[in-house]
Chain A
Amino acid sequence: MSRLLRKDLVILGRSRLLVALLVVYPVAIALLLGFAISRGPARPRVAIVDETTPGETLQLGDQHVAVASYAQRLFDQVQPVRVDTRAEAIEKIDSGAVVAAVILPPGLAARLSSDENQAQLEVLYNGNALEQSIARSTIESALAQANLRFSEQIQTSARKVIDTLLVGGKLTDVGGPEDLLGLEHIPSTLGGIAARQPHGHDREQLERIGDFAGFAAQNLGVASHVLGTIGQPIRVNSVLLHGRRTPLDAFAVVVAVSLSMMLLCVLLAAGAVALEREEHTLARLIRGRPTARGAGDAGASLVSPAGLLAEKTVLAAGSAFVVAFAMLAGIGAFVALDWSRVGLWLLALAVGAVALSALGVAIGALAREVRAASLLAFLTTLPLAFLALVPAGSVSGGFATVIDVISFVFPFKAALEALDTAVNGATPAIGLSLLHLLVLAAAFGALARLGLRHVE
């Protein structure tokens, strides 16, 4: 096996363009994907047409909430491009300069104060189905955020008015007296006055008014709490069941390295096996010899089929292991990784590389020529990477089951999980993932052996 390995390394060394492609391409793809995963989506460019009157406010008690502050909340969620007219906004959408436009109509404050008309914004967008979906969801999300914050501001003002009504104070802006008594104080004040009245109709009436004021104060106090609850009815308390909380950038590193390792392992292993067939050397290497036991005695071949497949697996896994570890170490200079777990990194990389290379030799043995093997390797690996990154629960039940089955029978997801556990401690135990990878390596090795049954 060592002679064949040396031969393959010499051939690789003389195929500099191939080596460069095999290393640079997966690393570039992996880094792009990792970068995309680790960064949130950029704020979309949205045209804003503000037709509200400058300084327009919504008055709540002595509080004035500026409509412009609502617009500002909205602008915080997007990259605002201020335009003066609706026509200008449409032009910007058509030219692709912005994904959508939001029009704040005049009289927004009046509509917010009105019991009859709900305040309404106009959202304009265009483009194909995907662009429409992105624009709509982005704007809806931004509007929801702005609505929530504006509603909190309105609630705060409303609670202040209610509190003043309850405990008393100044409420002149809504036509109240300078020194408002406050509902809470009415029962005791009226109780004192009623106590000094003779028993009779007037005293009963005063006591009834006092009771009502007490009851009203109690319920207005509840309303104040209810307003706070409406703003955010349910708070979220997140609990991670297993492992450590993984920062997105550390997970992105694992995805980038795993993807790079898969492309390198599968392409190199598939290509190396297919090359033996394409150069017609496979038959020369693994043919048996006529011996006393008869023709095709495999024990007398130059290299056994299993030995040949093992050599290609070692070649691809070894190369990918070196590149993947170099990537981890290189990225580790920019992203905080736990170097005390380096032993586990090496174990996960080694076992993952072997399993992925076994997939590669199976593809190479079945594809029979280098171009077909490379194409099949790409067609196999890219969907595997995509499917492994689809979050559980984000697709319908049937499709999720299909994804689970595919991810289970191919080694990418298991390699990703093993490396995530090794690097980030994503799950408490790495053993199950490693065992899964070893079983898959054996299964794909057996498939590759079947593929070599007919050498010519």
Chain B
Amino acid sequence: MSAVLSVSALAKRYGRKGSTTGRQALHDVSFRLSPGELVAIVGPNGAGKTTLLSIIAAVQAPTAGTVMRAGGAEDPRAGCGVGWVPQSPALYSKLSVAENLELFARLERVSDPHAAVARMLEQTGLAERARDPVGRLSGGNRQRVNLALGLIADPPVLALDEPSASLDPGQRERLWEFLAARVAGGTAVLFSTHNVSEAQRYAHRLLVLSEGRLLFDGPTGALLASSEQGEQGAEGAGGDLERALVRFLEEHAYPEGMP
């Protein structure tokens, strides 16, 4: 299947060039994303997950490497890039849900903003709260509006930074149902998470980042299998992806023990 997004030799360094106090956040990261794929990025704190997603969403520029979307400049749709759902909801709290959606629909030059707003209100189950100021919504509903803004222009790729971090179990369940429907419709979804069981349950593929390096790119089953085939005498992960991830990191990133 052709890739909808290609990340090639991506690197990011914070701080001035040549500075000794700078930090290399990403090293030579490359992968591809196909339509209808749900990919999880996992790794310890400071691994570079948010940096990678924010570069893909073009919030910041890479130091080296490229992020190419299929179609590129030839795609006539103005809002057809990457939908961005940051971890902290990026919303105007004094505007209503509908006003937030309509503003960004117009800024994204969506051909029929009213229809797009109505569609997102319906899909996110916020139609009854459309006139409520965002500032009065619960955390879960704010995250739903945040998600709706990322999808308002119907992008082929959606990048989400820890989308379920502030949600209760019921809200998380609804979020994944909603994303599954988008994936089924062909949207490629890339999300970061600390919740490995969530990645195990929903993701088709796993990217493991540690200290800015991409250590693993494959299906969750492959990571589990690699754990089972570990050192002789070592206990296998037994189908537990979290345990498999820790063992994988110990083996590949922290041979002298996890920090």
- A281–B81 contact, CB under 8 A? no
Give the distance to chain A from B23, nearest Cβ to Cβ, in Å: 14
Give the distance to chain A from B147, nearest Cβ to Cβ, in Å: 13
Give the distance to chain B from A108, nearest Cβ to Cβ, in Å: 73
Q: Which of B57-94 contact A (CB under 8 A)?
A: 57-62, 66-69, 72-74, 81-82, 84, 86, 88-94
CB closest chain-A residue, reference B54: A456
B interface bracket (residues with beta carbon within 8 Å of A): 35 or more
Give the distance to chain B from A311, nearest Cβ to Cβ, in Å: 12
* Interface: A236 (CB within 8 A): no
Give the CA-CA distance A405 to B219 in the complex, in Å. Answer: 64
> In the complex, what residues of B have CB within 8 A of residue A4's CB?
107
> In the complex, what residues of A have CB within 8 A of residue B90's CB?
279-281, 283-284
> In the complex, what residues of B have CB within 8 A of residue A279's CB?
90-93
* Interface: B149 (CB within 8 A): yes
- A292–B74 contact, CB under 8 A? yes
Give the CA-CA distance A295 to B63 in the complex, in Å. Answer: 11
Most buried by A among B5, B74, B104: B104
Q: Are A3 and B107 CB-contacts (below 8 A) given A10-B99, A279-B91, A294-B67?
A: yes
**B58 partner, pick from A7, A14, A287, beta carbons under 8 A:** A287
- B60–A293 contact, CB under 8 A? no
Residues 102-135 of chain B: 1 if any A CB is under 8 Å from the residue's CB, otherwise 0? 0110111000000000000000000000000100
Q: Are A303 and B107 CB-contacts (below 8 A) given A289-B81, A295-B62, A295-B66?
A: yes
* Interface: A95 (CB within 8 A): no
* Interface: B253 (CB within 8 A): no
> In the complex, what residues of B have CB within 8 A of residue A293's CB?
72-73
CB closest chain-B residue, reference A7: B103
Overall SS of chain A's interface: mixed
Give the CA-CA distance A454 to B59 in the complex, in Å. Answer: 9
* Interface: B137 (CB within 8 A): no
CB closest chain-A residue, reference B90: A280
- A296–B61 contact, CB under 8 A? yes
> In the complex, what residues of A have CB within 8 A of residue B93's CB?
279
Give the CA-CA distance A11 to B62 in the complex, in Å. Answer: 34
- B91–A287 contact, CB under 8 A? no
Residues 12-31 of chain B: 1 if any A CB is under 8 Å from the residue's CB, otherwise 0? 00000000000000000000
Give the distance to chain A from B14, nearest Cβ to Cβ, in Å: 9
Give the CA-CA distance A397 to B168 in the complex, in Å. Answer: 67
- B68–A290 contact, CB under 8 A? yes
- A287–B107 contact, CB under 8 A? no
* Interface: A288 (CB within 8 A): yes
Give the distance to chain B from A304, nearest Cβ to Cβ, in Å: 12
> In the complex, what residues of A have CB within 8 A of residue B107's CB?
3-4, 285, 302-303
Give the CA-CA distance A456 to B93 in the complex, in Å. Answer: 19
Give the CA-CA distance A183 to B108 in the complex, in Å. Answer: 106
Give the CA-CA distance A289 to B92 in the complex, in Å. Answer: 22
* Interface: B95 (CB within 8 A): yes
* Interface: A401 (CB within 8 A): no
Residues 301-325 of chain A: 1 if any B CB is under 8 Å from the residue's CB, otherwise 0? 1110000000000000000000000
* Interface: A15 (CB within 8 A): yes
Q: Are A290 and B5 CB-contacts (below 8 A) given A15-B94, A280-B90, A281-B91?
A: yes
> In the complex, what residues of B have CB within 8 A of residue A291's CB?
69, 72-73, 81
Give the CA-CA distance A455 to B59 in the complex, in Å. Answer: 7
Q: Which of A261-289 contact B (CB under 8 A)?
A: 279-281, 283-285, 287-289
* Interface: B151 (CB within 8 A): no
Give the distance to chain A from B50, nearest Cβ to Cβ, in Å: 8
Give the CA-CA distance A303 to B108 in the complex, in Å. Answer: 10
* Interface: B224 (CB within 8 A): no
* Interface: B56 (CB within 8 A): yes
Give the CA-CA distance A3 to B113 in the complex, in Å. Answer: 13
- A280–B81 contact, CB under 8 A? no
Give the CA-CA distance A301 to B107 in the complex, in Å. Answer: 9
> In the complex, what residues of A have CB within 8 A of residue B94's CB?
10-11, 14-15
> In the complex, what residues of B have CB within 8 A of residue A7's CB?
92, 95, 99, 103
- B72–A280 contact, CB under 8 A? no
Give the CA-CA distance A14 to B96 in the complex, in Å. Answer: 11
Q: Which of A8-55 contact B (CB under 8 A)?
A: 10-11, 14-15
Further contacts, 9 of them, CB under 8 A, given A287-B59, A296-B61, A302-B108: A11-B95, A280-B89, A281-B91, A283-B90, A287-B58, A290-B82, A294-B68, A303-B107, A455-B60
Residues in chain A within 8 A of chain B (CB atoms):
3-4, 7, 10-11, 14-15, 279-281, 283-285, 287-297, 300-303, 454-456
- Interface pairs A-B: 3 shortest CB-CB: A292-B72, A296-B61, A289-B81
Q: List 6 A-B contacts (CB under 8 A).
A: A11-B95, A279-B93, A283-B59, A284-B90, A292-B73, A456-B54
